[in-house]
Amino acid sequence: DAMVIQNPRYQVTQFGKPVTLSCSQTLNHNVMYWYQQKSSQAPKLLFHYYDKDFNNEADTPDNFQSRRPNTSFCFLDIRSPGLGDAAMYLCATSSLAGERDEQFFGPGTRLTVL
Amino acid sequence: GQQVMQIPQYQHVQEGEDFTTYCNSSTTLSNIQWYKQRPGGHPVFLIQLVKSGEVKKQKRLTFQFGEAKKNSSLHITATQTTDVGTYFCASMGNYGGSQGNLIFGKGTKLSVKP
């Protein structure tokens, strides 16, 4: 089945130690998103790629970076994780094809910062 | 910027009772999407409404989009324990550089007592 895959599902890192989260998709969607979701809150968009065009949200800290080497893969790099970065990180994709603008979410990576 | 307000934040119902969550915006929305997130899970797309006054049904779920396209509701008839989760409304950003982005409401967390 076509889907959005995130690895790892759980990631533990130390304060200040860089970490990379990965997302892959078999849907061939041109848009990929990274969200941060903290407990009992809505997903907060960090940035998205429309094909190779990177779009950063104004309030996304510089500590968060992203790479999209090809259509299928997208990475979230957290350069120096702080305790406040502990959260669920969700990857999503969309084709933005006319009336079908739904986003398909991956299962998420839960990040713990020690 | 565009905001979507969602109420209530929490709703506790007895199994078999009805449930409604509401979303409101001060600006006209291009569309409204609804997502369900089960505890420990990721958001899953339910439906998209585009037209003024649109009403769509999925079994016990009824979705409405207001005539002015500034509000929407999700109504569940005769809730079941499988309906437990957080329901988010979300609207597509309609300002420059943000096309394709979803603006999420804060969500309504539904709990159902058997």
Q: In this predicted model, what pLDDT tens digit does every residue of B35-50 receive, in sequence order?
A: 999 999 999 999 999 9
Are residues A42 and B102, on separate chains, in Cβ contact within 8 Å? no
Q: What is the DSSP string of B53-98?
A: T-EEEETTEEEEE-TTSSEEEEEESS--GGG-EEEEEEEE--STT-
Tell me which amino acid residue B9 is: Q
The residue-averaged pLDDT of B91-98 equals 59
pLDDT band at B102 (very low <50, low <70, confident <90, very high): confident
For residue A108, give the nearest of A23, A40, A49 by alpha carbon.
A23
Mean pLDDT for A85-112 is: 90
When scoring A38, A39, A45 by the number of chain B Cβ atoms within 10 A, the one with the most, hence best to mutate, is A45
Check if the beta carbon of residue B38 is closer than 8 Å to that of residue B100. no
B50·A99 Cβ contact <8 A? yes
Q: Is the pLDDT of residue B95 over 50?
A: no
pLDDT of the residue at B94: 54
Strands B55-58 and B32-37, by their bridges, are unpaired
